[in-house]
Structure 1
Amino acid sequence: MSLLRVSGLTKEFGDLTAVDDVSFDIEDGEFVSILGPSGSGKSTVLRMVAGFEEPTEGEISLDDVEIVGSPPFERDVNMVFQDLALFPHLTVAENIGYGLKQSGVPADERRERTERMLEMVRLEGYGDRAPAELSGGEQQRVALARALVNEPALVLFDEPLSSLDRKLRQHMQSELQRIQLETDTTFLYVTHDQEVALAVSDRLVVLDDGEIQQVGTVEELYEAPASRFVADFIGDVNAVEGRVTAVDDGTIGLDVGDGEVSVPRDAAVEELAVDDAVDVCIRPFLMRAEPAESDRDAVDDANETFSTTGVVRSRSYQGSDSLYGIETDRWGRLSAEVRSASFDVDDRVAIAWDAADVHVYRREGGAPPSEDGGA
């Protein structure tokens, strides 16, 4: 069942519409992330759910109870802030038990529940320490324990991992998942960090300019992005400019500047018509690369493959594979993630990818592709 239901949520600050008609549901026990660039409205949505901002329009219900207008302390919600907001003059145990004390929970019960939370976040024996004596990751766990100790229906997170280094952030991602599963608490997490969101979430809500772009599982958003924005924002993507030349029952014909390629009709996320200007998008890991023996294409498989040659301009070693920046002869700079071969900067390579792996989006403005192509 839906624990949290957000319907038609809008927030205006004077002439600025920070959140525009946002609607989504969160099921009991889910881990959902709101993902978007800075200024997309994601933190404003979180603050309205928490009760720190009042919506201009819309409804928010928690466990089928409308909570718009209720003060934060009356909502069955706790929040982990970006700056953690731990009390420096209190011990770790006192920080965790602060909410229980404010609620009038007896001292013995507070002590028992605090110790239980210290075990949950693997900080046994740290109760008498001051927050300043802890590492960044340990402070994160104290803030999480404080948010969970009074067993709220929903815990909100406002980018709490943004200040951590990558290794510690990855560790905390695993800890968040473990604790969420063990407590069966519903988490709503706000971040601009795609890596964090992809790693921890059951579902994603992608925002841009205050509007929802797509809601779905991590796999759905990565493998079937509903817009060029989502494709760009969730992982890396290459784009080749083209124009629609034909639309049939099962295929779409595309002129990509040097011959026509047919792609499956379901590669287009919206209805297209002949002469529409489009972006043809492909993930770097779906591209093939090999040394170019000549200026011919890597693959010439009828009209079901995109292919070109180019020169390696950059290389980023990533352990199991390398990410190459390739200046292509047809389509400008493209990125290819390659595991089966190794190239040096200035090597000439041939690259190709299958038409069945692309996504096609109508280009904003519908302008025709430039004469020399470009990504």
Structure 2
Amino acid sequence: MSLLSVRGLTKEFGNLTAVDDVSFDIEDGEFVSILGPSGSGKSTALRMVAGFEEPTSGEIRLDGEDVVGSPPFERDVNMVFQDLALFPHLTVAENIGYGLKQRGVPAAERRERTERILEMVRLDGYGDRTPSELSGGEQQRVALARALVNEPALVLFDEPLSSLDRKLRQHMQGELQRIQAETNTTFLYVTHDQEVALAVSDRLVVLDEGRIQQVGTVEELYEAPESKFVADFIGDVNAVEGRVTAVEDGRVVVDAGTGEVAIPRDAAGDVAAGDAVDVCVRPYQVRLDDGTPTPGDGRFSTTGVVRNRSYQGSDSLYGVETEQWGQLSAEIRGNSFDIGESVAVTWDGADVHLYRRGASADGETEAT
């Protein structure tokens, strides 16, 4: 039985449906992130799990018990808010032990549990300080300690790292993973930041416009996205227009304007001959050469001109303007190309994913 089971969860605000028929499960000890752009419904879904919002319809079961209608303090969950919500007039130890005090835990036990969790988050010796005396990362750890000290079944996070700079955010990602592994507590984390979600999560729930687009491991969503939206949101992707010319056993043949190319059937989704499609490929799978392109033989290929270059350490990200497909990105290691240089742009048919143009994540064709 899953620790958290969400079924048909819907939340309407007047004529606006913020969360639309959302269902997913989280197992005990998992680190799951709900990922989506601003306005996708992810924070509303989290607040319904926490008990701060009442669903319009649907079911939320925590450890088998339906908690819809139960107030937040009766649910075995704690939440780390975006603004942390630390009490400025209380010390670090008092902030962490506040929930224990409200529950009537004796002072000696509160002290012992607070000291133990401070050591867990590597803030031992900080108990007498106030939040204003701490750095941003230290305040994050105090908020996490406060959420963990009650030993809840589930800890919820509403974009708590969004205000940190990139270096500190990366450090806190590692701390979250370490603490989650050491406590074996189930984490449900909401963010619009794909870098954070990819770094910390066992599985992802991707939302857009209130609906689930895909649920799976980081590897599944990156390597086998089920829609163009997921492909574009989880990492970077090039998308060029094409048309399916044939569907055969084990392969789909598509023409993107430079000749027919065969693509493995399992990378093509639900397409039929004649369908207009998006041909999607990751920048790291695009090759640049100073020779002549050779379309066909399982490859997409055209010519282009290097318009910009971004050095990224081991790789360089090139922006290439092509006559056939417009601007494309190529992540190249080893070779170097100059701005204004003419290049051949190539990638293999085996590396692409096809999506019907105008198709939603559930396979239905949207109005255009």
TM-score (ref. length: structure 2): 0.96
Q: Corresponding residue for 1:371?
A: none
Report deviation, 1:365: 7.2
Q: Corresponding residue for 1:328?
A: 322
CA distance in 2, matches of 1:350, 1:329: 12
CA distance in 1, matches of 2:82, 2:359: 38
CA distance in 1, matches of 2:305, 2:142: 51
Report deviation, 1:258: 2.3
1:311-357 deviation per Cα after TM superposition (whole angstroms, max 9, x unaligned): 11111111110100000132110000000211121121112111001
Q: Corresponding residue for 1:251?
A: 251
1:351 maps onto 2:339 in alignment: no
1:319 maps onto 2:318 in alignment: no
Q: Corresponding residue for 1:69?
A: 69
CA distance in 2, matches of 1:249, 1:160: 49
Question: Structure 1 residues 150 and 365, CA, compared in 2 at 3 Å: closer, same or farther?
Answer: closer
Q: Corresponding residue for 1:51?
A: 51
CA distance in 1, matches of 2:146, 2:6: 26
Q: Corresponding residue for 2:365?
A: none
CA distance in 2, matches of 1:253, 1:319: 37
Moved more, 344-353 or 51-60: 344-353
CA distance in 1, matches of 2:151, 2:317: 45
CA distance in 1, matches of 2:343, 2:116: 58
CA distance in 1, matches of 2:258, 2:359: 22
- Of residues 302, 312, 327 in structure 2, which corresponds to 1:308? 302
Q: Corresponding residue for 1:79?
A: 79
1:339 maps onto 2:342 in alignment: no
CA distance in 1, matches of 2:313, 2:147: 37
Please list, as runs of the form range in 1=range in 2, the aligned pairs for 1:119-268 lying within 5 A after superposition. 119-268=119-268
Report deviation, 1:207: 0.2
Cα pair 2:258 2:302 within 8 Å, conserved: no
Which amino acid in structure 2 is aligned with residue 114 of structure 1? T
Which amino acid in structure 2 is aligned with residue 277 of structure 1? A
CA distance in 1, matches of 2:126, 2:359: 58
Which amino acid in structure 1 is aligned with residue 339 of structure 2? V
1:35-90 deviation per Cα after TM superposition (whole angstroms, max 9, x unaligned): 00000000000000000000000000000000000000000000000000000000
Moved more, 174-183 or 344-353: 344-353
Cα pair 2:258 2:301 within 8 Å, conserved: no
CA distance in 1, matches of 2:125, 2:359: 61
CA distance in 2, matches of 1:33, 1:123: 26
Q: Corresponding residue for 2:11?
A: 11
Which amino acid in structure 1 is aligned with residue 282 of structure 2? R
Which amino acid in structure 2 is aligned with residue 338 of structure 1? I
Which amino acid in structure 2 is aligned with residue 35 of structure 1? L
CA distance in 2, matches of 1:141, 1:65: 30
Q: What secondary structure, in the 3-state scheme, does the structure 2 residue paired with 1:161 have?
A: coil
1:164-185 deviation per Cα after TM superposition (whole angstroms, max 9, x unaligned): 0000000000000000000000
Which amino acid in structure 2 is aligned with residue 63 of structure 1? D
Q: Corresponding residue for 1:275?
A: 274
Which amino acid in structure 1 is aligned with residue 353 of structure 2? H
1:288 maps onto 2:287 in alignment: yes
Cα pair 2:302 2:324 within 8 Å, conserved: yes
CA distance in 2, matches of 1:365, 1:173: 35
Report deviation, 1:274: 1.3
Runs of 4+ in 1 over 4 A off after TM superposition: none
Aligned residues: 360
CA distance in 2, matches of 1:340, 1:247: 37
Which amino acid in structure 1 is aligned with residue 278 of structure 2? D
Q: What secondary structure, in the 3-state scheme, does the structure 2 residue paired with 1:364 have?
A: coil
TM-score (ref. length: structure 1): 0.94
Cα pair 2:121 2:179 within 8 Å, conserved: yes
CA distance in 2, matches of 1:122, 1:264: 50
Gaps of 5+ in 1: 367-375
Moved more, 258-267 or 80-89: 258-267
Report deviation, 1:291: 2.1
Cα-Cα RMSD: 1.1
